[in-house]
């Protein structure tokens, strides 16, 4: 690892021209995508319509309002609760699946990836139908079965919001923690066991402390995701009167006249909080890397024998899948097949495909589907290509500014989608380029938002590639471009494809930037779902959601099949 | 007092591509206080055997016994944390979140019989002194050098004064000079403490240097077991001869008083069950082959051409082509021989003992690549 990570100094002398031009282009691009909108956001928040010059009036307005402090505490509680729920669920799952001999662990692994591709908007809507106090299926079932008079659950509450968002994020924690557990040298635990430590003690004294940096950084990322999330605050938080930063920014811009001043100064506040989180996260991951001890052999460490605890563990997994995958999907399927929604068993008599016909025949559906597909493909391609070059510069060269490039490409992880959209709106107000309401501005937003994922995939893969592989090509007379094309890209192919699929999926799911940036011609599927839900067309929403989830599963499945056939193995 | 008995041990791993029979019927006994080495190429099942002894793997057959206590087998399986042993891992497995003191103190704090903190301190200091790490108690573990981590792992394994010490290639991650020194220290330490030890390595030099007894493993089984001297001097199979040191293999039909090879007859002694007409194999160590610039008309003398004569300081490494057979010999560094000249090699009869030919042939090149692997 260490030697592979060392930069190759050949890069500069071997490519006098492209060695300067390409990094310079990449840097300019990055600046345009990140620093420019952020500066415009700050600048915009310092201006008041119809007045000259800069002023702190917006901040004074917003931050003297006691309501803002309720926002702050709501946002904070919501983000912390989400992080705690997602982290404990995801970590417990990862431990059970990765480190114990629970039955069917392989099958489980495949299934947990499904919720990863379900858009947040879809799972939020599903939870409304499952656990709303008035119409929730679960509530009705409990009330009927136990003879209760009041609904036991209420999704329209802070706890309900935490529940919906925490469950939605838990598969991500699962993946991260599985990675951390795999990166851990199994002999660290074995050394504890052969020293006389029993399994629980080993877990407490060795496993958890070693996973601590990964856990802490996972918690921070979940906290940031919670702060930034839009779907749950908008669809559950607003009706429940639990406003948080994102829903408040959204409402400021939906009001008439639009309140750019509040949106801007709230956006800057949110940005500041998540920037602290990101900075802390960066510190923690560096510590995590120091702890990571890579094992020599690729065998899975011996699993913990659960004995009679195997069945409770399996029950936990099954329950999780029921709650996170099966129930949300079934409830949407149910609603999508009803002429109108009443949570009652009698409705099974009246199932109909009418909603699907309506949705598919609506011209907006096709337009949105086309736009979403186009956007996802271009975003994934541009983001992966751009970050491949940037990652190469950061990992391989000794260019003076490369750390800044790294930072810039990572920065958007801390920019909430909604705040980015506000920033882009400010930018387009100042520079009247006619791209507002087009697909172009959406691509810009998406690429900015998802660059960090591409960056992480690409630089991790690049670190694994020994730099001598490229040096050998250069020594054989290949130019930089040829080396990149013939050596770097083929070797990175598996991770490029994996990253591409991921960015594709998250682009289709994207809502929080789109919601402020789309126009009638540039609507996307997630926005259509959101819009239909807000306007109360629940059965059409359900049908469209089911269609979207199914097509995402099919697309991801197919891409993975195809790419595994053409990809280079290993890496 | 601790005697380890392993009988008919079997372990199969299940993988995606089916079962891997890692260990198939391994049996051996380590007497009290002895240093016992499992020697073999990468993938032959050494680590698996050791991990079964530690209880980190659950064997599907055979028994493992420490003195009278059955650790594994006969329906019993003592979990690793209840086995009285210390283990040193190939990666050292030093816990990065603890300092040196806490690493070493760990076994004293978690085991059945907890020690008082004064006693812990005393025993940790003793253990650190044993391996020469005194005064580093407060150092964070990740700040140690490779050699220091190795010593730390050893101190941690010894601090409980276990009945059995297990070591998996502990020296393979050190550079050559340090390995040489640790080898000496390890030998001294084991002899001084008299702790029953099982050691795993693919390095024959290490095995011969350290051990009271060596078991040569191949494909999940033990092919030969004995003292280092026996293993080196009287290999019982072609594989063992090839793996434990360099050798020239002469194969041919058994004839009266020798075997037919090198276009004539090579005289040698013969095991009783090897009869004329059967296939025999003669294994010659380079130091037992004499090279001269002129014939002396002695028995087992053959003429050839000197293909390579490389000066290695303490000896001259020679390869002589006799017909189309390459014979490896070791000559005194003062001998004046030139490449390409005619030479005569002699195989002194007292060093020539044939064995039944099992078809194994040296794979010199492959082996020297293979050694770099682990
Ligand atoms: N956890 C495991 N899962 C599957 N196969 C394994 C595992 N550990 C070892 N093996 C296989 O078992 C055989 C013996 O391995 P090992 O005992 O590690 O050999 P050695 O230590 O002699 O190199 C090898 O073929 C190896 O690939
Ligand atoms: Mg091994």
**Which atom of ligand 1 is nearest to B169's Cα?**
21
Q: Kindly report the number of other CB atoms within 10 A of residue A370's CB atom.
A: 12
Q: Kindly report the number of other CB atoms within 10 A of residue A547's CB atom.
A: 17
Fold of B246-356: OB fold (Dihydrolipoamide Acetyltransferase, E2P) (2.40.50)
How far, in Å, CA of B184 to CA of B192, rounded? 12
How far, in Å, CA of B204 to CA of A264, rounded? 72
Distance from CA of B209 to the nearest CA of A (A): 26
Ordered alpha helix ranges (H), A48-65: 57-64
A128, A215 Cβ separation under 8 angstroms: no
Smallest Cα–Cα separation from A74: which of A200, A238, A195?
A238
pLDDT of A16 > 60? The answer is no
Please answer yes or no on whether A197 and B87 come within 8 Å at the CB atom. Answer: no
Q: Could you report the per-residue pLDDT of A165-208, keeping only the tens digit for each?
A: 999 999 999 988 988 888 888 889 999 999 999 888 998 999 98
Token pair of A570, please? 């290993």
Ligand 1, atom 27, lies closest to the CA of B43
B22 pocket-lining for ligand 1 (C-beta < 6 Å): yes
Q: From residue B341, how far is each of A272, B294, B318, B319, B357 by CA, in Å?
A: 83, 11, 12, 12, 32
Helix (H, G, I), strand (E, B) or coil at A198: coil
Q: What is the ipTM of this complex?
A: 0.83
Write out A147-178 in H/E/C secondary structure. CCCCCCCCCCCHHHHHHHHHHHHHHHHHHHHH
Token pair of B158, please? 């010894």
The reply to whether domains B2-233 and B246-356 share a CATH topology is: no
Residue ranges in chain B whose pLDDT is less than 70: 1, 363-374
Ligand positioned closest to the Cα atom of B46? 1
How far, in Å, CA of A285 to CA of B369, rounded? 38
Q: Which residues pair with B342 in a beta bridge?
A: B305
pLDDT at A405: 86
Q: Which long-range contacts (CB under 8 A, 24 or more apart) does B24-29 make?
A: B24/B219, B24/B220, B24/B221, B25/B62, B25/B221, B26/B62, B26/B217, B26/B220, B26/B221, B26/B222, B27/B62, B27/B222, B28/B215, B28/B222, B28/B225, B29/B3, B29/B4, B29/B5
Q: Kindly report the number of other CB atoms within 10 A of residue A143's CB atom.
A: 15
Ordered alpha helix ranges (H), chain B: 46-54, 100-110, 117-131, 146-158, 176-193, 204-210, 228-233, 238-243, 364-373
Q: Which residues pair with B5 in a beta bridge?
A: B29, B65
Domain boundaries, chain B: 2-233, 246-356
Distance from CA of A443 to the nearest CA of B (A): 42
First to last CA, chain B: 33
Residue A332's H or E segment, with its range, is helix A327-336
Helix (H, G, I), strand (E, B) or coil at B168: strand
Please answer yes or no on whether A302 and B156 come within 8 Å at the CB atom. Answer: no
pLDDT at A288: 60
pLDDT at A459: 87
Chain B residues with beta carbon closer than 8 angstroms to that of A293? 91, 96
Domains and their CATH numbers in chain A? 63-352 (1.10.3720.10)
pLDDT at A565: 57
Ligand 1, atom 16, lies closest to the CA of B45
Q: Could you report the per-residue pLDDT of A387-428, keeping only the tens digit for each?
A: 998 998 888 887 777 888 888 888 898 899 999 999 999 999
Token pair of A329, please? 């999907």
Chain A residues with beta carbon closer than 8 angstroms to that of B56? 190, 193-194, 302
Tell me whether strands B342-346 and B290-292 are parallel, antiparallel or unpaired: antiparallel
Mean pLDDT of chain A: 86
Token pair of B45, please? 């099942």
Chain B residues with beta carbon closer than 8 angstroms to that of A185? 91, 93
Per-residue pLDDT band at A14 (split at 50, 70, 90): very low
pLDDT at A563: 66
pLDDT at A234: 95
Please identify among residues 200-239 of chain A the ones whose CB lies closer than 8 Å to any CB of chain B.
Answer: 201, 205-206, 209-210, 212
Measured between CB atoms, does A568 come within 8 Å of chain B?
no
Q: Could you report the per-residue pLDDT of B206-264, keeping only the tens digit for each?
A: 999 999 999 999 999 999 999 999 999 989 999 999 899 888 999 899 998 889 988 88
CATH of domain B2-233: 3.40.50.300
Interval A495-502 mean pLDDT: 89
Of the listed ranges A8-22, A199-213, A256-270, B335-349, the least confidently predicted one is A8-22
Helix (H, G, I), strand (E, B) or coil at B16: coil
CA atoms within 13 A on the CB side of B27: 6
Per-residue pLDDT band at A292 (split at 50, 70, 90): low
B337, B293 Cβ separation under 8 angstroms: yes
Model pTM score: 0.81
**Which atom of ligand 1 is nearest to B217's Cα?**
22
For chain A, what's the residue count?
571
How far, in Å, CA of A184 to CA of A295, rounded? 7
pLDDT at A406: 86
A87 versus B361: the higher-pLDDT residue is A87
DSSP state of B349: G
B54, B87 Cβ separation under 8 angstroms: yes
Verify cis geometry, omega within 30 degrees of 0, for the bond prior to A257: yes
Measured between CB atoms, does B86 come within 8 Å of chain A?
yes
B106, B95 Cβ separation under 8 angstroms: yes
Q: Which residues pair with B249 in a beta bridge?
A: B283
Token pair of A370, please? 């086309």
Please answer yes or no on whether B54 and A198 come within 8 Å at the CB atom. Answer: no
A437, A519 Cβ separation under 8 angstroms: yes
CA atoms within 13 A on the CB side of A107: 7
**Which atom of ligand 1 is nearest to B41's Cα?**
22
């Amino acid at each position: 690892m260490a030697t592979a990570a060392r930069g190759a100094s050949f890069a500069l002398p071997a490519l006098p021209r492209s060695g300067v031009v390409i990094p310079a282009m990449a840097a300019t691009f990055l600046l345009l995508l990140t620093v420019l909108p952020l500066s415009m956001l700050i600048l915009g928040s310092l201006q008041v319509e119809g007045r000259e010059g800069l002023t702190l009036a917006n901040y004074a307005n917003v931050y003297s309002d006691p309501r803002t402090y309720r926002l702050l505490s709501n946002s904070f509680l919501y983000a912390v609760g989400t992080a705690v729920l997602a982290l404990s669920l995801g970590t417990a799952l990862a431990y059970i699946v990765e480190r114990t001999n629970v039955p069917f662990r392989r099958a489980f692994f495949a299934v947990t990836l499904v919720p990863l591709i379900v858009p947040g908007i879809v799972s939020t809507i599903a939870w409304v139908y499952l656990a709303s106090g008035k119409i929730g299926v679960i509530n009705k079932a409990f009330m009927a079965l136990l003879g209760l008079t009041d609904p036991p659950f209420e999704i329209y509450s802070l706890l309900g919001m935490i529940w919906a968002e925490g469950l939605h994020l838990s598969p991500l924690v699962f993946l991260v923690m599985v990675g951390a557990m795999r990166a851990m040298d199994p002999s660290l635990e074995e050394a504890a066991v052969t020293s006389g430590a029993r399994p629980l003690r080993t877990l407490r004294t060795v496993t958890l402390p070693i996973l601590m940096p990964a856990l802490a950084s996972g918690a921070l990322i979940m906290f940031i995701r919670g702060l930034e999330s839009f779907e749950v605050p908008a669809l559950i938080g607003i009706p429940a009167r639990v406003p948080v930063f994102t829903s408040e920014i959204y409402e400021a811009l939906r009001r008439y006249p639009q309140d750019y001043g509040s949106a801007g100064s709230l956006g800057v506040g949110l940005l500041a909080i998540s920037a602290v989180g990101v900075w802390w996260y960066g510190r923690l991951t560096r510590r995590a890397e120091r702890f990571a001890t890579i094992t020599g052999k690729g065998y899975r460490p011996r699993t913990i024998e659960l004995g009679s605890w195997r069945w409770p563990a399996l029950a936990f997994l099954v329950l999780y899948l029921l709650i996170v995958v099966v129930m949300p999907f079934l409830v949407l399927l149910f609603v999508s097949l009803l002429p109108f929604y009443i949570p009652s068993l009698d409705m099974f008599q009246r199932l109909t495909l009418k909603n699907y016909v309506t949705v598919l025949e609506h011209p907006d559906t096709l337009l949105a589907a086309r736009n979403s597909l186009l956007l996802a493909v271009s975003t994934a391609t541009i983001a992966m290509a751009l970050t491949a070059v940037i990652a190469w510069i950061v990992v391989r060269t000794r260019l003076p500014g490369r750390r800044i490039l790294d930072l810039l490409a990572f920065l958007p992880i801390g920019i909430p989608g909604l705040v980015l959209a506000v920033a882009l709106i400010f930018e387009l107000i100042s520079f009247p380029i006619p791209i507002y309401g087009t697909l172009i501005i959406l691509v810009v937003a998406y690429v900015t938002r998802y660059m960090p994922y591409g960056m992480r995939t690409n630089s991790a893969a690049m670190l694994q590639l020994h730099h001598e592989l490229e040096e050998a090509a250069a020594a054989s007379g290949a130019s930089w471009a040829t080396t990149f094309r013939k050596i770097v890209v083929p070797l990175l192919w598996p991770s490029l494809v994996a990253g591409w699929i991921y960015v594709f999926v998250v682009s289709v799911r994207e809502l929080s930037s789109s919601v402020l940036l789309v126009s009638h011609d540039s609507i996307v599927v997630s926005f259509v779902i959101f819009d239909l839900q807000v306007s109360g067309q629940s059965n059409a929403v359900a049908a469209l959601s089911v269609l979207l989830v199914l097509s995402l599963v099919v697309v991801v499945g197919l891409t993975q099949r195809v790419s595994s056939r053409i990809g280079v193995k290993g890496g | 007092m601790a005697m380890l008995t392993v009988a008919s041990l079997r372990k199969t791993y299940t993988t995606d591509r089916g079962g891997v029979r890692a260990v198939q019927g391994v049996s051996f006994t380590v007497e009290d206080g002895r240093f016992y080495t499992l020697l073999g190429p990468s993938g032959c099942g050494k680590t698996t055997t050791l991990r079964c002894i530690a209880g980190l793997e659950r064997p599907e057959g055979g028994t493992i016994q420490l003195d009278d206590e059955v650790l594994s087998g006969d329906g019993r399986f003592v979990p690793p944390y209840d086995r009285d042993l210390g283990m040193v891992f190939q990666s050292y497995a030093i816990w990065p979140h603890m300092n040196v003191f806490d690493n070493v103190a760990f076994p004293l704090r978690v085991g059945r019989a907890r020690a008082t903190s004064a006693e812990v301190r005393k025993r940790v200091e003793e253990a650190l002194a044993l391996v020469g790490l005194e005064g580093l108690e407060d150092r964070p573990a990740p700040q140690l050098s490779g050699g220091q981590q190795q010593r730390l792992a050893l101190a941690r394994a010894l601090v409980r004064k276990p009945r059995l010490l297990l070591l998996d290639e502990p020296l393979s991650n050190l550079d050559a000079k340090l390995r040489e020194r640790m080898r000496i220290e390890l030998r001294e330490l084991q002899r001084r403490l008299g702790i029953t030890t099982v050691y795993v390595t693919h390095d024959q030099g290490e095995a011969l240097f350290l051990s009271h007894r060596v078991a040569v493993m191949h494909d999940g089984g033990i092919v030969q077991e004995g003292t280092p001297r026996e293993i080196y001097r009287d290999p019982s199979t072609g594989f063992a001869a090839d793996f434990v040191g360099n050798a020239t293999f002469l194969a041919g039909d058994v004839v009266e008083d020798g075997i037919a090879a090198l276009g004539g007859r090579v005289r040698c002694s013969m095991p009783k069950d090897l009869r004329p007409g059967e296939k025999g194999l003669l294994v010659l160590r380079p130091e037992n082959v004499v090279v001269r610039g002129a014939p002396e008309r002695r028995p087992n003398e053959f003429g050839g051409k000197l293909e390579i004569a490389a000066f290695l300081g303490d000896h001259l490494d020679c390869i002589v082509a006799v017909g189309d057979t390459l014979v490896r010999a070791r000559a005194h560094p003062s001998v004046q021989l030139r490449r390409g000249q005619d030479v005569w090699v002699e195989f002194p009869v007292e060093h020539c003992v044939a064995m039944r030919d099992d078809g194994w042939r040296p794979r010199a090149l492959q082996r020297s690549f293979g050694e770099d692997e682990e």
